[in-house]
């Protein structure tokens, strides 16, 4: 019965779909504005590093339509923001550390007035040297936080026993989030020196507490409300706070409604992106290509302040060995302080950066040893019972299962044969392929963050209101929460309304991030629904004079006792409960059990479970032009028991294409002065309909799923992004088919320009 219900609920479409295609979905800029709403615009630094000598806005402030110009001195509370380390001034006072750093906030009646005023502001900055390279920052001792090392076995002695040892470097670039909806916030004063704040944020608590600190007041005076986001991808996990602080500072001081929403180019130059990494690796193998030792040092480009970089650094370490079982490992990570906007969370959160390095090391070893990369990959996939470098014992490994299934389903031998034949027959077009295994840990690496709450009201007409701490950002979380509620109550989804995410209904939320939103909020919601359900069952037993052991169910809104249908509907039970003065509301709480991590020894059991998968990527490279196409991606993915097949497939496809974009075409470029050159969609290329794989096949691995996943439906947000790494290696292999002596550094993205250079390069 339960299984059937899951299946019927399983088919529901994303409840936001109709609103999105008809333009009725409400984003921050669609909220009806109050009378007298002002606009806030940020004046940002045009220099990458320097000492502020003079700021003069006296003339600008006198202009028509200008209400007020705020500088650091006008902040009533604390100027320093930052979720992990408070090291980032909201408005720069003495120094600027990056181009795009906010210095002043203009509040005006209209945007035009603000633009006019900007021309009349004088800011003098004495330039200092700009550092944008993480290795250079490291040499200068510029670090954002303590460096960390994960260790297993003993690499020093292990390397002495290896038959093959290879060393090299690997680099991955940044990535612009390019959420369709830019950052933004709208704030207005309410009674009691309080604020109501609409923010495009993944993390309501962080916005609420940051605004409270900046204003020097309690969190209880700030109500944050989120309808939905037009995408986040990590870019609004912490960085939404800055825009919220700007709108709030003005609204609270002026006692007027204020909107602060940047244009695309302002958003692109002022916000941080995925952390670029430069890394060193050393890999040692025995005569059977078993990896005996692996050493990596990661230089993370953190930007000018810590933001989430320390946590991202940590996840790089957690995923440094991807899906491989390696007995001796040493991974060291440095978070380097550079004169760039603070880099931040981006789908995968440092995991992809770490995985690229081990894949590069394995590919390097294979090419030098003269064997196929896939041979080394397959020979080292982990199995249950082995230990991750951070101490967690592998208990749920589907690594070989996924690999073998995709190899068999898509007949890898046949693919290889076809590619070989094609490459023999074509002189100037070459194909290549790769396999990319993925193992991603599910839970915030910071154990404390793995908690959530939900508030459910059953109104006495039988309709239901659901609030959770989850933020809908296009990933379909509201649809999944609707399914959890409908299934638990045994009622139609039509009876249920998903409310906005709001700090007065659900407090102290963790951000919707780490792929953990459905699990954490779903389990909290399940807990709330079950509390109400137990009370309703008691009401039913009373009505029918049934003993406590009798089993009450509600299926399709009808009451069953011990499997026998009664003449009593959901609506009637709810009404009866209300008459009997039974509480029809509940607050659910969930904290992931089992998990722990001890940073002093860098060991523990940080993840509730892991998600596995393997993708085969096939590409075609035009060896005259350096352009390429992704022919196909075939993946076997571990969904557990999915509760919504189509939404999960959408997450896989979106993640995959975003990963391919990061690896192949998205190139964040700053010049030596720290100026963002890829500052618009004309200079920053993301995958479009023409650059997606021609064919995508996603297979659902048949597994049970984990009890720590909501209804055993495993987390799906971030893991598929890493399939995109396969595109890099497939393109690299196609280039080698054209020119076996090509020099192709492990430097992503592998743009068409780089492909062209590599095609005609030669090892000396």
The binding site for ligand MOS (CB under 6 A) comprises 202, 234, 237, 345-347, 349, 513-514, 718
Alpha-carbon Rg of the chain, whole angstroms?
27
How far apart are CB 512 and ligand MOS at their closest, in Å?
7
Side-chain-side CA neighbours of residue 726 (13 Å): 31
478 near ligand LUZ, judged by CB under 6 A: no
Q: Is 445 in the site for ligand LUZ (CB under 6 A)?
A: yes
Q: Which residues, at least 6 apart from 15, have a Cβ–Cβ distance to it below 8 Å?
A: 478, 479, 482, 493, 498
Cis geometry, peptide bond prior to residue 749 (ω within 30 degrees of 0): yes
Query: Interface mask (CB under 6 A) for ligand LUZ, residues 692-731, using x and -?
Result: ----------------------------------------
CB nearer to ligand MOS: give 344 or 434.
344
Three-class secondary structure of residue 145 per DSSP: coil
**213 token code pair:** 């600190």
Q: What angle do CA 364, 159, 289 make, to 5 degrees?
A: 50
Is residue 144 a contact partner of residue 310, using CB atoms and an 8 Å limit? Answer: yes
Q: Is 313 in the site for ligand LUZ (CB under 6 A)?
A: no
| Least distance to ligand MOS, CB of residue 346, Å | 5
Pairing state between β 328-337 and 429-442 = unpaired
Binding track, positions 489-518, relative to ligand LUZ; x by CB under 6 A:
------------------------xx----
Selection from ligand MOS, ligand LUZ, none that 273 binds (CB < 5 to 8 A by kind) is none
Cβ proximity to ligand LUZ, 138 vs 356, nearer residue: 356
- Is 718 assigned a catalytic role? yes
Closer residue to ligand MOS, CB minimum distance, 202 or 518 = 202
- Residue 28 or 513 with smaller CB distance to ligand LUZ: 513
Q: Which is nearer to ligand MOS, 237 or 325 (CB)?
A: 237
611 touches ligand LUZ by CB under 6 A: no
Contact (CB, 8 A) for 632 and 455: no
Q: Could you tell me the smallest distance in angstroms from the CB atom of residue 653 to ligand MOS?
A: 18
Q: Judge contact between 355 and 416, C-beta under 8 A.
A: no
**Nearest distance from residue 517's CB to ligand MOS, in Å?**
8
Residue choice 72, 144, 292, 311 for contact with ligand LUZ (CB under 6 A) = 311
- Residues that contact ligand LUZ, how many (by CB under 6 A): 12
d(CA 419, CA 726): 16
Contact with ligand LUZ (CB under 6 A): which of 97, 214, 260, 345? Answer: 345
d(CA 85, CA 308): 9
Q: Which of 459, 483, 487, 462 is nearest to 568 (CA)?
A: 462
744 contacts ligand LUZ (rule: CB under 6 A): no
Query: How far is 402 from 702, CA to CA, in rounded Å?
Result: 10
Shortest CB 435 distance to ligand MOS, Å: 25
Cβ-Cβ contacts under 8 Å for 119 (sequence gap 6 or more): none
3-state secondary structure of 430: strand
Q: Which is nearer to ligand MOS, 347 or 487 (CB)?
A: 347
Nearer to ligand MOS, 81 or 513 (CB): 513
Interaction partner, residue 732 (ligand LUZ, ligand MOS, none; CB < 5-8 Å by kind):
none
Residue 444 interacts with, from ligand MOS, ligand LUZ, none (CB under 5-8 Å by kind): ligand LUZ
Residue position matching structure tokens 């550092």? 131
3-state secondary structure of 391: coil
Chosen from ligand LUZ, ligand MOS, none, partner binding at 603 (C-beta under 5 to 8 Å by type): none
| β-bridge partners, 199 | 185
Pairwise CA distance, residues 395 & 574, whole Å: 43
- Least Cβ distance, residue 440 to ligand LUZ (angstroms): 9
Element (H, E) at 195: strand 194-199
Transcribe 518-582 into DSSP letters.
HHHHHHHHHHHHHHHHHHHHHHHHHHHT--TTSPEEEETTEEEETTEEEEEEHHHHHHHHHHTT-
Structure tokens at 501: 């995410």
Which of the following is catalytic: 181, 295, 666, 718?
718
Residue 205 binding ligand LUZ, by CB under 6 A? no
Distance CA 669, CA 371 (A): 36
Q: Decide which of ligand LUZ, ligand MOS, none touches 445; Cβ closer than 5 to 8 Å per partner kind.
A: ligand LUZ
Q: How far is the CB of 277 from ligand LUZ (least distance, A)?
A: 16
Task: Annotate each residue in 233-272 with x if it binds ligand LUZ (CB under 6 A) or - if it does not, as one string.
Answer: ----x-----------------------------------
Nearest distance from C-beta of residue 232 to ligand MOS, angstroms = 6
With CA atoms as reference, report the closest residue to 518 among 693, 376, 648.
648
Q: Judged by CB, which is closer to ligand LUZ: 312, or 647?
A: 312
Work out what residue 346 binds among ligand MOS, ligand LUZ, none; the CB cut-off runs from 5 to 8 Å by kind.
Answer: ligand MOS
Distance CA 131, CA 261 (A): 29
The distance of closest approach from Cβ of residue 642 to ligand MOS in the complex, given in angstroms and rounded to an integer, is: 19
CA distance 491 to 91: 51
Q: Considering CB distances under 5 to 8 angstroms, the limit depending on partner class, which of ligand MOS, ligand LUZ, none binds residue 97? A: none
CA separation for the pair 79, 73 (Å, rounded): 9
Q: Is 349 one of the binding residues for ligand LUZ (CB under 6 A)?
A: yes
Return the one option of ligand MOS, ligand LUZ, none that residue 315 interacts with (CB less than 5 to 8 A, by type).
ligand LUZ
Question: Minimum distance between the CB of residue 356 and ligand MOS, rounded to whole angstroms?
Answer: 16
Positive or negative torsion for Cα 198, 203, 209, 215: negative
- The residues annotated as belonging to the active site are 718
Binding footprint of ligand LUZ on the chain (CB under 6 A): 237, 308, 311, 315, 345, 349, 444-446, 449, 513-514
């Amino acid at each position: 019965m339960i299984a059937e219900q899951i299946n019927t609920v399983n088919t529901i479409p994303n409840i936001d779909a109709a609103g999105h295609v008809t333009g009725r979905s409400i984003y921050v800029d669609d909220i009806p504005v109050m009378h007298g709403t002002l606009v806030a615009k940020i004046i940002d630094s045009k220099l990458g590093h320097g000492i502020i000598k003079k700021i003069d806005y006296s003339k600008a402030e006198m202009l028509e339509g200008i209400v007020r110009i705020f500088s650091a001195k006008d902040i009533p509370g604390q100027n320093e923001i930052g979720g992990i380390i408070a090291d980032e001034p909201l408005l720069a006072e003495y120094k600027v550390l990056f181009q795009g750093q906010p210095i002043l906030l203009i509040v005006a009646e209209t945007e035009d007035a603000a633009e006019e005023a900007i021309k009349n502001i004088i800011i003098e900055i004495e330039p200092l040297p700009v550092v944008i390279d993480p290795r250079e920052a490291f040499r200068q001792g510029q670090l954002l936080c303590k460096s960390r090392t994960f260790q297993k076995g003993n690499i020093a002695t292990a390397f002495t026993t290896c038959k093959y040892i290879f060393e090299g470097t690997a680099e991955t670039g940044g990535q612009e989030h390019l959420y369709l909806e830019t950052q933004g916030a709208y704030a207005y004063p309410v009674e009691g020196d309080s604020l109501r704040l609409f923010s495009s944020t993944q993390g309501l608590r962080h916005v609420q507490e940051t605004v409270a600190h900046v204003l020097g007041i309690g969190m209880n005076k700030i109500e944050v409300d989120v309808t939905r986001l037009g995408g986040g991808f990590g870019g609004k996990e912490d960085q939404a706070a800055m825009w919220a602080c700007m709108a709030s500072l003005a609204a609270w001081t002026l006692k007027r409604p204020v909107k602060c929403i940047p244009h695309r180019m302002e958003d692109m130059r002022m916000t941080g992106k995925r952390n670029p990494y430069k890394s060193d690796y050393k890999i040692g193998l025995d005569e059977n290509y078993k990896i005996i030792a692996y050493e990596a040092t990661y230089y993370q480009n953190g930007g000018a302040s810590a933001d989430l970089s320390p946590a991202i650094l940590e996840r790089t370490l957690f995923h440094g060995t991807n899906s491989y079982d390696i007995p001796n490992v040493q991974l060291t990570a440095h978070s380097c302080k550079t004169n760039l906007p603070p880099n931040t969370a981006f789908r995968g959160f440092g995991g992809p950066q770490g995985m690229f390095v081990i894949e590069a090391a394995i590919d390097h070893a294979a090419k030098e040893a003269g064997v196929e990369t896939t041979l080394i990959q397959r020979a080292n996939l982990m199995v249950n019972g082995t230990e991750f470098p951070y101490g967690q014992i592998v208990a749920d490994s589907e690594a070989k299962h996924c690999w073998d299934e995709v190899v068999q389903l898509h007949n890898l031998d046949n693919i290889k044969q076809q590619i070989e034949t094609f490459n023999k027959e074509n002189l100037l077009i070459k194909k290549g392929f790769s396999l990319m295994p993925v193992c991603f840990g599910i839970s915030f690496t910071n154990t404390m963050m793995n908690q959530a709450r939900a508030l459910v009201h059953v109104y006495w007409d039988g309709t239901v209101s659901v609030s959770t701490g989850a933020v809908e950002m296009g990933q379909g979380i509201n649809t999944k929460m609707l399914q959890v509620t409908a299934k638990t109550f045994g009622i139609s989804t039509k009876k249920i309304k998903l409310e906005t995410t709001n700090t007065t209904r659900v407090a102290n939320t963790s951000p919707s991030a780490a792929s953990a939103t459905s699990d954490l909020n779903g389990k909290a919601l399940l807990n709330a629904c079950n509390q109400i359900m137990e009370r309703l069952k008691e009401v039913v037993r009373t009505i029918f004079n049934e003993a406590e052991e009798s089993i009450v169910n509600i299926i399709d809104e009808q009451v069953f006792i011990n499997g026998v249908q009664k003449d009593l509907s959901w609506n009637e039970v709810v009404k009866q409960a209300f008459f009997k003065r039974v509480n029809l509301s509940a607050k659910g709480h969930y904290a992931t059990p089992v998990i722990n991590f001890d940073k002093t020894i860098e060991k523990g059991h940080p993840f509730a479970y892991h998600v596995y998968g393997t993708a085969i990527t096939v590409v075609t490279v035009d060896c005259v032009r350096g352009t390429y196409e992704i022919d196909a991606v075939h993946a076997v993915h571990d969904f557990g028991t999915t509760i919504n097949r189509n939404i999960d497939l959408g997450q896989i496809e979106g993640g995959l294409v975003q990963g391919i974009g990061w690896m192949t075409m998205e190139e964040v470029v700053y010049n030596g002065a720290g100026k963002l050159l890829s500052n618009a969609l004309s200079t920053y290329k993301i995958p479009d309909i023409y650059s997606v794989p021609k064919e995508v096949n996603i297979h659902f691995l048949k597994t049970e799923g984990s009890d720590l996943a909501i209804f055993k439906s495993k987390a799906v947000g971030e893991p598929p992004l890493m399939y995109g790494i396969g595109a890099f290696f497939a393109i690299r292999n196609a280039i080698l088919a054209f020119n076996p002596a090509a020099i192709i550094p492990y430097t992503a993205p592998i743009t068409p320009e780089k492909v062209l250079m590599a095609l005609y390069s030669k090892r000396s």
